[in-house]
Amino acid sequence: MEKKLPKIEINEKYCKGCHICVEFCPTRVLEMRGFTAAVKNLEACIACMQCELRCPDFAVTVTG
Amino acid sequence: MGFDYDKYIRPGKLPHIWCPGCGHGIVMKGLIRAIDALELDKNKTAIVSGIGCASRLPGYMDFCTLHTTHGRAVAFATGIKMARPEMNVICVGGDGDGVAIGGNHFIHACRRNIDMTYLIMNNNIYGMTGGQFSPTTPYGAKASTTPYGNPDPPFDIAKLAIGAGATFVARGTAFHAAQIDKLLAEAMRHKGFSVVEILDSCPTTYGRRNRFKSVVEMMNQLKDMAVPVTAADKMPAEQLRGKVLTGILYKESKPEYVEEYRKLVERVRAEG
Ligand SMILES: Cc1ncc(C[n+]2csc(CCOP(=O)(O)OP(=O)(O)O)c2C)c(N)n1
Ligand code: SF4
Ligand code: SF4
Ligand code: SF4
């Protein structure tokens, strides 16, 4: 059975490129792409919510 | 999963004006989650601030809000609570607002034990005005007004609050985001004056001047500095040097000011 992956949305209009979500993701799911955060490796996401909790700019939402 | 912050934010107010990596946004999210957990009624909740970057918080929040003058948030909040005791009153602001210009209001509100929660976002600096030192700027740190290093020792806000008589005192950090809402919810549940200090980051006026290479480095400092109060008992003194205790630091039950005041009025009226 295929693993159901969480959904990570990054609101590029809100993201200010602080790197917090990227650096503190325990499984290195995210990366910086230019000035905004982006999803690099969704398969590794353990839905711990730390990126959503720590984003100062309301730019990350993890669901599913 | 995926918390819906939008239902508590005034429409069209995001993105906020805080700088990249400013911890104030992390703290505001924690406050929203705490309010959500307690299911506070928007029309019965007042969020009151003074002046500063931190004090811009109420402008984003879809509640009864008051953005007052520098250092006077607690005075305005006291007025609200006295006139409308059924309101949930939450005061917010920075370290400059709260314990420099507002320090006198702060200690006396602690002493009175008036039922409200005071959230202090302590970034150790006056962020809004370009980085002057505050009463919580660490000894030796650089500010625009201490270019050779700060000669003053800092206040410990939590200890100040306990000493002045606050009946609930907690501390967290912007790094420990998941704890912020828990501490604030406990504080709001408490009857009496509750103080929650969140150690925060100002990369723009503090970080740069004090040679933090990035916001991430500031967050790492908060991470390394914090020791949960529950773990501290078992740690030797040398391991606690340079650390700050986090969690609920103090809690007691004492008569609450508004109730005491009402009782007094009734007693005097009955006596004619
Ligand atoms: C009576 C008065 N004095 C001085 C100022 C200038 N002033 C505005 S914000 C501020 C300090 C803000 O620092 P803090 O409360 O720590 O908040 P931060 O900006 O760091 O979030 C000062 C001194 C003012 N607005 N009013
Ligand atoms: S939810 Fe956790 S694992 Fe997934 S991207 Fe965010 S921080 Fe990384
Ligand atoms: S934490 Fe938020 S603002 Fe910072 S880079 Fe990630 S998405 Fe952007
Ligand atoms: S100056 Fe400092 S406190 Fe003000 S918004 Fe920027 S980072 Fe935050």
In this prediction, residue B271 has a pLDDT band, given cuts at 50, 70 and 90, of very high
Residue A29 Cβ < 6 Å to ligand 3? no
B143/B244 Cα distance (integer angstroms): 22
Are the C-beta atoms of B55 and B47 separated by less than 8 Å? Answer: no
On the CB side of B174, CA atoms within 13 Å amount to: 29
Within-domain flag for B63? yes
Cis ω on the peptide bond leading into residue B15 (within 30° of 0)? yes
- Segment B245-249 long-range contacts (CB within 8 Å, at least 24 positions apart): B245/B158, B245/B171, B246/B171, B246/B172, B246/B173, B246/B176, B246/B179, B247/B170, B247/B171, B247/B172, B247/B179, B247/B183, B248/B168, B248/B169, B248/B170, B248/B183, B248/B186, B249/B158, B249/B162, B249/B169, B249/B170, B249/B171
Burial of B57 (0-12, 13-18, 19+ CB in 10 A): buried
Reported pTM: 0.98
Within-domain flag for B50? yes
Residues B121-138 have a mean pLDDT of: 98
The percentage of chain B sitting over the pLDDT mark of 90, rounded to a whole number, equals 99
Distance from CA of A42 to the nearest CA of B (A): 16
Within-domain flag for B217? yes
Number of structural domains in chain B: 1
What are the structure tokens assigned to B255, written together?
A: 């008569």
Please check whether residue B176 touches A, CB under 8 A: no
Within-domain flag for B9? no
B76/B81 Cα distance (integer angstroms): 9
pLDDT at B236 over 80: yes
Within-domain flag for B109? yes
What is chain B's mean pLDDT, rounded?
Answer: 97
Within-domain flag for B243? yes
Residues B19-32 have a mean pLDDT of: 98
Buried residues in B61-77 as b, exposed as e (16+ CB within 10 A): bebbbbbbebbbbbbbb
- Coil, strand or helix at B216: helix
Q: Which residues pair with B198 in a beta bridge?
A: B121, B172
In this prediction, residue A4 has a pLDDT band, given cuts at 50, 70 and 90, of confident
pLDDT at A2 over 90: no
- Coil, strand or helix at B132: strand
Closest residue, chain A, to B31 (C-alpha): A53
Question: Which backbone phi and psi does B196 adopt, to 5 degrees?
Answer: -120, 115
Quote the pLDDT of residue A1. 59
The CATH number of whichever domain residue B138 belongs to comes to 3.40.50.970
**For B70-87, what is each residue's pLDDT tens digit?**
999 999 999 999 999 999
B87/B48 Cα distance (integer angstroms): 12
Within-domain flag for B110? yes
Residues A16-31 have a mean pLDDT of: 98
pLDDT at B120 over 80: yes
Are the C-beta atoms of A41 and A23 separated by less than 8 Å? Answer: no
Residue B151 sits in which domain range?
21-230+238-271
In this prediction, residue B1 has a pLDDT band, given cuts at 50, 70 and 90, of confident
Distance from CA of B92 to the nearest CA of A (A): 17
In this prediction, residue A64 has a pLDDT band, given cuts at 50, 70 and 90, of confident
Contact A64 B1 (CB under 8 A): yes
- DSSP letter for B126, please: B
Quote the pLDDT of residue A3. 74
From A14, A19, A63, residue closest to B2, measured CB to CB = A63
**For B175-220, what is each residue's pLDDT tens digit?**
999 999 999 999 999 999 999 999 999 999 999 999 999 999 999 9
From B14, B18, B26, residue closest to A54, measured CB to CB = B26
Within-domain flag for B14? no
A28/A31 Cα distance (integer angstroms): 8
Question: Which backbone phi and psi does B224 adopt, to 5 degrees?
Answer: -75, -30
B189/B103 Cα distance (integer angstroms): 24
Q: Which residues of A touch B178 (CB under 8 A)?
A: 49-50, 53
